[in-house]
Amino acid sequence: MTFDERDLISRSRSGEIEAFDLLVRLHQDRIYNLAYRITGNREDASDAAQDAFVRAYQALPRYREDAAFSTWLHRIATNAALDLVRRRPASTHGELHPEVPAGDNLEAVVDRREITRRVHAALGHLTVEYRTAVVLRDLQGLAYGEIARILQVPLGTVRSRLARGREAMRAQLTDLVSAEG
Amino acid sequence: MTHEEARARLSALLDGALPDREAVQVEAHLEGCSSCREELAQLRTTVTLLQEVEPMKAPEGFSAEVRRRIERLAQATQHSPWTRLRAALSWRSWSWRTVTAAAAVVMVGVFAVNLLREAGVPGGATRVRMPELALDVSKVGEGARTLAQAVPPSAGPGEPVSMRRVIRTGQMAIEVERFDAAASRLFAIAEGAGGFVADSSFSDEDGVPRGTFVLRVPAARFSEVVAQVEKLGTVKRRQISGQDVTEEFIDLEARVRNLARQEARLLALMDRATKIPDLLAIEGEVARVRGEIERLTGRLRFLANKVDLATVQAEVSQKPKKSEGALWDFKQTLERVRTAFLNTVRQMLGAAESLVALAAALLPVALLGALAWWLLRRGFRRADRIP
């Protein structure tokens, strides 16, 4: 199945919900991942990602095609997720930083699942700003320019937030880093 | 570049996101700084770890839930009158073809109306009539009264209008189909109103008969007569005036009363006079007073006549005969088309001018509205700004 995204967008604009449904299915995993990594729990992630798509549907008439649709979605979703995080500052990143079981052996730690678990946990220790920068760059794979547009900050700010965020991640993951390195 | 500065740039260096000049400087620092080399290596490993994170799947039924929320939202807004109004006014819903077609229909309509007017089809005559000429009988009377009241009032404002003495004069130029018929109608009108034709003149130059008729009719029926006269044909010119002579009237009557009293006293004196010179002197004075009384009452009678009988002066001319015989007067048709065309253009320019004026008038309101709208929207839009 191949879809012409532009075609889907213009059909969604004219109110064809089927077309928008397809757009949601195409992007839902990436957007859900983004929301999960910023909010730190499944419930908030699901809410934020849904919010993002609903907002995107409403804002679709204002979407100009000078930015990639996925970047545009990322911006809306980032804002939606940050809204949730700021509204519920008390919500802990419970799922994000489970205690590392004592006496873990290295083979298990290097397992990809374990890396995922540890990274998610480490993200929970970062401030929202640093976490968002790291998530957008290293987990979602966006370019500096795109991140600057999504966060509405200058490139220099993206660079410095990312540097600090990565440094904090390195500190959180020291054991893994030395094991890998 | 210091050690700290270089260290802070390692992350960006890793992504090749440093400006060339800075990148060269950081590389140079790395040559001689083993701790920075170690840091860079660890950062690289960290990034590799991050990139290894397993992507997750959106939960089951995610897209269905999004769809349900959108549909519920659409239902909520679909029925609000505000949304419907916005949809109706939205430019998107008006195709260019519709707008162009509507404009074309309007223009053809305006042109057709102008053409019909030029061709003299019903409506042609009314176009020539000036708006105020279409006034009805009562309005004409009111007009005269208003004029009369414009004259400085001598009596108090409470005095009823009926006590006012106004000389009413109407002058009009009328173009009629047939002069003879109009002339006899004028006589009939004057007599029917209890008046008469005081003066009439007639000429027939270039085969176009014309004449002037002065009608004197009771003041009370002035408006009625004016209306009847105007029905004879097309009014080309018209002037209605009212001269308020109330003050002069009151003044004259007072003076006549005074003189009459003076005359009575003189006559009484004359009865008692014994000497001839006295008698002669008194008699001379009586004659002077009497003469003055006569003069003033004459003026009063003249005014009363003018007030009682209004004057309607009608200049009647026969409409020039259209060239007959020819089956079709091409020049005339061309002229009509030209005039209709110019009228349409003129009206369009007028409309455009009005539109510009309207826009200018509405600009401050629109700006305020836009500001309010923007402020209102800003609150909602915060979260989903478009990159």
Confidence of residue B158 (pLDDT cuts 50, 70, 90): very low
Judged by a CB distance cut-off of 8 A, whether residue B70 touches chain A is: yes
Does residue A138 surpass a pLDDT of 80?
yes
Q: Mean pLDDT over all residues of chain A? A: 85
Q: Which residues contact B314 (CB under 8 A, 6 or more apart)?
A: B172, B173, B174, B186, B212, B213, B215, B229, B232
Min Cα distance B41 → chain A (Å) is: 8
Confidence of residue A178 (pLDDT cuts 50, 70, 90): confident
Beta carbons of B384 and A59 less than 8 Å apart: yes
Beta carbons of B10 and A24 less than 8 Å apart: no
Beta carbons of A167 and B51 less than 8 Å apart: no
Min Cα distance A7 → chain B (Å) is: 18
DSSP B91: G
Give the range among A166-170, B89-93, B143-147, B332-336 with minimum mean pLDDT.
B143-147
Beta carbons of A139 and B52 less than 8 Å apart: no
Question: What pLDDT is stored for residue A169 in this prediction?
Answer: 95
Strand partners, B240: B170
DSSP B16: T
Does residue A134 surpass a pLDDT of 70?
yes
> Which of A113, A162, A164 should we substitute to test contact with B (largest number of B Cβ atoms within 10 Å)?
A162
Does residue A99 surpass a pLDDT of 60?
no
Strand partners, B208: B205
Element housing A82 (H / E): helix A69-87
Question: What pLDDT is stored for residue B144 in this prediction?
Answer: 43
β-strands B234-244, B196-205 pairing: unpaired
Residue count of chain A, please give it.
Answer: 181
- At B15, is the secondary structure helix, strand, or coil? coil
Question: What pLDDT is stored for residue A139 in this prediction?
Answer: 93
Does residue A55 surpass a pLDDT of 90?
yes
Rounded mean pLDDT, A22-40: 93
CB pairs under 8 A between A and B: 144
B37 vs B140, residue with greater confidence: B37
Confidence of residue A34 (pLDDT cuts 50, 70, 90): very high
Rounded mean pLDDT, A82-99: 64
Beta carbons of A163 and B69 less than 8 Å apart: no
Share above pLDDT 90 across residues of chain A, in percent, rounded to a whole number: 58
Beta carbons of A71 and B63 less than 8 Å apart: no
b/e code B290-303 from CB counts within 10 Å (16+ = b) = eebbeebbeebeeb
Beta carbons of A24 and B42 less than 8 Å apart: no
CB atoms within 10 A of CB A61: 11
Judged by a CB distance cut-off of 8 A, whether residue B16 touches chain A is: no
Cα B41 vs. chain centroid, distance in angstroms? 83
B169 sits in the region (left: phi over 0; alpha: psi -120 to 50; else beta) called beta
Question: What pLDDT is stored for residue A79 in this prediction?
Answer: 95
pLDDT tens profile B213-236 = 999 998 888 988 999 898 888 888
pLDDT tens profile B269-311 = 888 888 888 888 888 888 999 999 999 999 988 888 888 889 9
Residue linked to tokens 């900050």: A153
Cβ proximity of B263 and B290 under 8 Å: yes
Rounded mean pLDDT, B183-205: 87
Question: What pLDDT is stored for residue B382 in this prediction?
Answer: 54
Of residues A17, A112, A170, nearest to B42 (C-beta): A170
ipTM of the complex: 0.86
Does residue B326 surpass a pLDDT of 80?
no
Dig out the tokens for B110 from the structure: 């305006």
Question: What pLDDT is stored for residue B324 in this prediction?
Answer: 56
- At B189, is the secondary structure helix, strand, or coil? helix
Contacts of A56 in chain B (CB under 8 A): 384
Smallest CA–CA distance from B66 into chain A, residue: A50
Beta carbons of A24 and B17 less than 8 Å apart: no
Judged by a CB distance cut-off of 8 A, whether residue B17 touches chain A is: yes
For residue B192, give the amino acid letter: G
Question: What pLDDT is stored for residue A166 in this prediction?
Answer: 95
Residue whose C-alpha is closest to residue A41's, from A70, A84, A75:
A84
Rounded mean pLDDT, A76-92: 82
Smallest CA–CA distance from B383 into chain A, residue: A79
Question: Could you tell me the CA-to-CA distances from A151 to A61, A89, A132, B14, B376 in Å, in that order?
Answer: 21, 20, 9, 21, 23
Does residue B119 surpass a pLDDT of 80?
no
d(CA A66, CA B386): 10
Sign, Cα dihedral of A36, A41, A44, A47: positive
Domain locations along chain B: 3-51, 129-321, 330-379
Does residue B20 surpass a pLDDT of 50?
yes
Question: What pLDDT is stored for residue A147 in this prediction?
Answer: 95
Dig out the tokens for B27 from the structure: 């590389």
Does residue B353 surpass a pLDDT of 60?
yes
Beta carbons of B387 and A150 less than 8 Å apart: yes
Domains, in order of start, for chain A: 1-91 (1.10.1740.10), 94-181 (1.10.10.10)
Judged by a CB distance cut-off of 8 A, whether residue B62 touches chain A is: yes
Contacts of A112 in chain B (CB under 8 A): 52, 54
Dig out the tokens for B202 from the structure: 């007639």
Residue whose C-alpha is closest to residue A176's, from A125, A116, A123, A102:
A116
Beta carbons of B63 and A28 less than 8 Å apart: yes
Question: What pLDDT is stored for residue B28 in this prediction?
Answer: 93
pLDDT tens profile B123-142 = 434 443 333 333 344 444 44
Rounded mean pLDDT, A17-30: 92
Of residues A25, A120, A149, nearest to B387 (C-beta): A149
Burial label for A87, CB within 10 Å (0-12, 13-18, 19+), is exposed
Rounded mean pLDDT, A130-146: 94
Contacts of A144 in chain B (CB under 8 A): 15, 17
* Dihedrals phi, psi of A4, to nearest 5 degrees: -85, 110
* Dihedrals phi, psi of B61, to nearest 5 degrees: 70, 15
Cβ proximity of B171 and B313 under 8 Å: yes
Confidence of residue B50 (pLDDT cuts 50, 70, 90): very high
d(CA B314, CA B221): 16
Does residue A164 surpass a pLDDT of 90?
yes
Confidence of residue B238 (pLDDT cuts 50, 70, 90): confident
Confidence of residue A90 (pLDDT cuts 50, 70, 90): low
Q: B11-15, B128-132, B316-320 — which one is most confidently predicted on average?
A: B11-15
Burial label for A23, CB within 10 Å (0-12, 13-18, 19+), is buried
Cα(first)–Cα(last) distance of chain A, in Å?
A: 41
Helices (H) and strands (E) in chain A, counts: 10, 0
